[in-house]
């Protein structure tokens, strides 16, 4: 039978769909479920958990108080496995005295010392780049930046920044290996393929999933040349 002269256009899933897999309610695109102003999640980032994945911002982002002023920023195309947890700056206690106990928060006459909690240490915003894979029950501590393309192993505790395209594991998380050379990591970050229009991503799925850095950079250079000519 001759093939049709036309084919259906390639389509990406809708990133605003709360449950992208109709028969798997354990998988959610996170962005539609985020309502807090101090949390930002990019398109197509998903969370996979059998236990109320739609409650991610309440169950998995802990000690996150607006008065603290810190933000959680997660990029696009990230994969978060069951139990991934973010500990935010509101978890901090004073450590410069003999006791770390937060007496003032319990009120009564203790509440008269609330000023002692006004200058708790803060490490700033917590940032997860794009195309990051966080394994089951990984824990990310306050103020950490995880670079684009990084992988965090199951049950790792991330206490410091993770470079792009690096694999870390353990408690505290340590570098296992680099996914690509530092030069290629920098070049891949510069392509920012996660910001390409979805129609471009659609046509390069196989390259993104199986190609090496040179192939992705080659696609990027062609796109850049085409844009310049137009």
Phi/psi of residue 47, nearest 5 degrees: -125, 135
Q: What residues have CB less than 8 Å from 155, skipping those under 6 apart? A: 135, 136, 137, 138, 139, 171
Q: Is 86 exposed, middle or buried (0-12, 13-18, 19+ CB in 10 A)?
A: buried
Instruction: Tell me the angle at which helices 182-191 and 213-229 cross, rounded to the nearest 10 degrees.
Output: 40
Residues with Cβ < 8 Å from 17, sequence gap 6 or more?
Answer: 29, 32
Annotated catalytic sites, by residue?
93
């Amino acid at each position: 039978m001759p093939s049709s002269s036309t084919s259906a256009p390639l389509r990406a899933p809708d990133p605003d769909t709360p449950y992208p897999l109709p028969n798997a309610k354990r998988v959610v695109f996170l962005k539609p479920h985020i309502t807090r102003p101090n949390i930002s999640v990019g398109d197509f980032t998903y969370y996979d958990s059998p236990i109320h994945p739609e409650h991610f911002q309440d169950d998995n982002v802990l000690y996150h108080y607006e008065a603290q002023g810190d933000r959680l920023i997660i990029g696009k195309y990230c994969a978060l496995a069951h139990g991934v947890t973010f500990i935010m700056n509101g978890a901090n206690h004073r450590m410069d005295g003999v006791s770390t106990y937060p007496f003032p928060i319990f009120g009564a006459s203790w509440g008269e010392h609330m000023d002692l909690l006004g200058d708790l240490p803060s490490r700033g915003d917590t940032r997860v780049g794009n195309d990051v894979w966080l394994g089951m029950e990984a824990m990310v501590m306050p103020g950490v930046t995880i670079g684009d393309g990084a992988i965090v192993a199951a049950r790792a505790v991330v206490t410091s920044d993770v470079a792009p395209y690096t694999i870390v594991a353990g408690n505290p998380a340590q570098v296992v290996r680099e996914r690509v050379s530092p030069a290629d990591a920098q070049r891949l970050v510069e392509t920012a393929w996660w910001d390409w229009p979805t129609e471009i991503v659609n046509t390069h799925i196989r390259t993104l999933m199986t190609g090496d850095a040179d192939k992705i950079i080659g696609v990027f250079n062609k796109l850049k040349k085409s844009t310049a000519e137009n």
